[in-house]
Amino acid sequence: MRTRENNIEMYERVAKRIGLDCEYIQTSSKKKSLLITDKETFFIIGTGAPGFYPNVKRFNSFLTNNKILTQRILQKFNYKVISTVSISTESYSSVADLLDVVGKQTQSFPVLVKPNKGQDGKNITICEDVNQLTKVCEFFYEEQQGFLIQPIISQNEYRILVVDNELVLIHSKRNPDIIGDGTSSIGELLEKVPEGKRSQAIIDWQHKKRMTTMDSILKVGEKFEYHITKIPSADVYFTDNFPREVELWALKLAKTISSSIVGIDVFIPSDIKDTASYTVIELNSNPAVYYLPWRCNDSETPYRIIEKVLRNYFKLS
């Protein structure tokens, strides 16, 4: 059984198998990237920049890295997005002015507050009243960082992946959780989760909803969520024979943003074929596939997608 490979290692494995040359090159003082070549051209890949896909346009990366801008563009073309209060802190001369606007636009709680730029759930907070929201707004104002205020939506979440203008993957997502064994406390079970993978805001919110503490014992099979950012699952999973409605919708969105590569995260309330019900959460111009073997028990699809990318780029038969 293969050890867990990251995206770059997967690219190296596939590139060598199809006859391409690979070497690691120093691209910064702390980072090496993978150089893939044939006799005529080359391709450099790495986490962040330059990314995993050679055909991603610079403005697509710019768009998907800015949640506020992404929402504005999608709304302009009639895609449904999460109802959002978007705050650009530099537009306000004082925190009092900012709080006045936020107070008028935020009428119901709880709400989710997250930075305009960022990933992996960093600096995401759940606010259950105006006092909590005030503290979070003051933090972002002090940091001069734009942020978004959104309702908490309890719907099924999916990742839809388009690569080189072709729908290649659909999978469900779920909140990461610990599962009770009838004897261990919540605190004991959470200790087994790396600290960086836990969200204290979500843990605190779970305790408040469930009236539990870190010393509470979870029943056998009882789940306790510990992060707002959902993880991939294979509860719903397509690598071919896609619902035609989903395929048409995804390819249309990719065309709308002029991108041949896009990972689309969406809320779907019930029927996956009902694309009119889709709410776009965010877009990703550098979607990873390394997690599929161990999150979705699929060790074929990530290598197939990577081979598709390399063969298309290097024009291999």
pLDDT digits 0-9 by tens, 207-227: 999 999 999 999 999 999 999
Answer yes or no: is 253 within a domain.
yes
Answer yes or no: is 302 within a domain.
no
Closest of 24, 22, 43, 21 to residue 33, by C-alpha: 24
Residue 1 predicted with pLDDT over 50? no
Do residues 209 and 281 both lie within one domain?
no
**Contact status, residue 56 vs residue 285, Cβ threshold 8 Å:** yes
User: What mean pLDDT is predicted for residues 186-199?
Assistant: 93
* Of 205 and 120, more confident: 205
Do residues 161 and 132 both lie within one domain?
no
Element (H, E) at 35: strand 32-37
Do residues 235 and 249 both lie within one domain?
yes
Do residues 147 and 93 both lie within one domain?
yes
As a whole number of Å, the CA-based R_g of the chain is 21
User: What mean pLDDT is predicted for residues 256-275?
Assistant: 97
Report how far residue 198's alpha carbon sits from residue 226's, in angstroms, rounded to the nearest whole number.
6
Closest of 297, 81, 261 to residue 171, by C-alpha: 297
Q: Provide the number of structural domains found in the chain.
A: 4
Do residues 247 and 170 both lie within one domain?
yes
User: What mean pLDDT is predicted for residues 239-249?
Assistant: 98
pLDDT at 121: 60
Do residues 142 and 37 both lie within one domain?
no
Do residues 63 and 169 both lie within one domain?
yes
Q: Specify the CATH number for the domain of residue 139.
A: 3.30.1490.20
Please, which pLDDT band fits residue 73 given cuts at 50, 70 and 90? very high
Q: Specify the CATH number for the domain of residue 171.
A: 3.30.470.20
pLDDT at 119: 62
Answer yes or no: is 265 within a domain.
yes
Q: Which residue carries 């330059």 as its tokens?
A: 50
Residue 137 predicted with pLDDT over 50? yes
Q: Which two tokens stand for residue 71?
A: 């929402």
Do residues 13 and 106 both lie within one domain?
no
Answer yes or no: is 254 within a domain.
yes
Please, which pLDDT band fits residue 82 given cuts at 50, 70 and 90? very high
DSSP state, 77? T
pLDDT digits 0-9 by tens, 8-60: 999 999 999 999 999 999 988 888 999 999 989 999 999 888 899 999 999 99
Closest of 90, 87, 71 to residue 79, by C-alpha: 71
Residue 291 predicted with pLDDT over 60? yes
Answer yes or no: is 2 within a domain.
no
User: What mean pLDDT is predicted for residues 159-183?
Assistant: 97
**Domain extent at residue 195:** 177-227
Residues with Cβ within 8 Å of residue 57, at least 6 apart in sequence: 258, 259
Do residues 95 and 205 both lie within one domain?
no
In residues, how long is the chain? 317
**Average pLDDT score, the chain:** 94
pLDDT at 202: 87
C-alpha angle 282/155/270, rounded to 5°? 110
Do residues 103 and 123 both lie within one domain?
yes
Please, which pLDDT band fits residue 154 given cuts at 50, 70 and 90? confident
User: What mean pLDDT is predicted for residues 78-104?
Assistant: 95
- Give the residues across from 103 on adjacent strands: none
Closest of 30, 72, 10 to residue 283, by C-alpha: 72
Answer yes or no: is 261 within a domain.
yes
Residue 120 predicted with pLDDT over 60? no
